[in-house]
Amino acid sequence: MIKILKYSFYDLIRSRWTYVYFAFYLLLGIVLLFLNNDLSKAVITLMNVIIILVPLISTVFGVMYYYNSREFTELLLAQPVKRSSIFIGQYLGVALSLSISLVVGLGLPFIFYGIFKSVAIWDFVLLLVTGTFLSLIFTALSFNIALANENRIKGFGYAILLWLFMAVIYDGLFLISLLIFEEYPLDTFSIAATLFNPIDLSRVLILLKLDISALLGYTGALFQKFFGTYFGMLISSAVLVLWVIVPSFFIYRRSRRKDF
């Protein structure tokens, strides 16, 4: 598995798209710092980018990589290698190269800017950690979609739909249900609904670090009590880890059964 991971990883590291992705983050970091001159503000803008773009790129990239390397995968399948290690290896290769592009691409400009001396360092670290988690989660989800669909167009369609659902539609449904049931106590429901969507969860975790005074309004205090404490942080991290493990397990299961 490590060998396949290594192969996928090096293959991707040499690929043009990884460089484009890396360059994009590098440029984004530099532009943000250059235009804003204010670390905390730059971190807020970055949050918007991370919770929207990282899932999108991970999903598309994951699906694309799977379909593109299909012939090589078939070749590998003919060898005496365990199936699960082929797919999990490929998955980790993609997810890790995406995460590294993100962390290094954003990290470099901020390190040069002097993040280590700034108070925003922990916000920034949290940002990178959630970004990494989102890469892992959405790559795993996209591999699942690709494994389930032989048809590329269909696969891409589902992948985009998945992203659209998580990033936009879910929040819409969430908001509508809040408005419909506004006469009932909704705080437990809101916390649960947030935990079920990794994008929302990441957003709330970062927001509690940034827009703290708005969230401390009456209901905000409730959320702060949950997400702001160690217990809440632990639960949130556990949920994020689960979001990585469960789709990976599905990749493992499906890859064992799949007919090629």
Partner 1 sequence: MTLHIAIGIALVFSINSNAKTIVVCETCEFPSIREAVEFSAPYDTLEIRKGTYKEFNIRIDKPLTLLGIDYPIIDGAFKGEIVQVVSDHVTIDGLFIINVGTSYTEDFAAVRVSNSEHFLVQNLVLEKLFFGIYIEKSNNGRVYNNKIVGDAEEEYNSGNGIQLWYSNHVEVDKNIVTHVRDGIYLEFSNFCKITNNRSNDNIRYGLHFMFSNDDLYQFNTFENNGAGVAVMFSKQIEMLDNTFKNNWGPASYGILLKEINDSNIRRNRFQNNTTGINIEGSNRVNYEHNDFVGNGWAVKFRGACYTNIFRENNFLFNSFDLAYNSKVNDNLFTQNYWSNYTGYDLNEDGLGDIPYRPVKLFTYVVNRTPEAIILLRSLFVDIIDFSEKVSPVFTPDNLLDEQPKMKRIDHGSD
CB of 100 to partner 1, least distance (A): 26
Sign of the Cα pseudo-torsion (215, 134, 106, 167, in order): negative
Provide CB contacts within 8 A for 3, sequence distance 6+: 89
Question: In angstroms, how far is CA 60 from the centroid of its own chain?
Answer: 12
Number of residues that bind partner 1 (CB under 8 A): 37
Residue 218, interface with partner 1 (CB under 8 A)? yes
Copy the structure tokens of residue 104: 């290094």
Q: Which of residues 81-120 bind partner 1 (CB under 8 A)?
A: none
Q: Which of residues 50-69 bind partner 1 (CB under 8 A)?
A: 51-52
Residue 172, interface with partner 1 (CB under 8 A)? yes
Q: What gap in Å lies between CA 209 and CA 8, rounded to an integer?
A: 36
CB burial of residue 222 (10 Å; 0-12, 13-18, 19+)? middle
Of 110 and 227, nearer to partner 1 (C-beta) is 227
Please choose, from the candidates 106, 129, 126, the residue with its C-alpha nearest in 3D space to the C-alpha of residue 33: 106
Residue 223, interface with partner 1 (CB under 8 A)? yes
Residue 49, interface with partner 1 (CB under 8 A)? no
Instruction: Tell me which stretch binds partner 1 (CB under 8 A): 149-157, 189-197, 229-237, 252-260.
Output: 189-197
Of 221 and 246, nearer to partner 1 (C-beta) is 221
Q: What gap in Å lies between CA 168 and CA 174, rounded to an integer?
A: 10
Q: Which residues of 50-70 are buried (b: 16+ CB within 10 A; e: fewer)?
A: bbbbbbbbbbbbbbbbbbebe
Out of 62, 200, 232, 247, the residue judged to bind partner 1 by CB under 8 A: 200
Residue 129, interface with partner 1 (CB under 8 A)? no
Out of 150, 187, 246, 249, the residue judged to bind partner 1 by CB under 8 A: 187
> Where on the chain is the footprint of partner 1 (CB under 8 A)?
41, 47-48, 51-52, 167-169, 171-172, 174-175, 178-179, 182, 186-187, 189-191, 194, 200, 203-204, 207, 211-221, 223
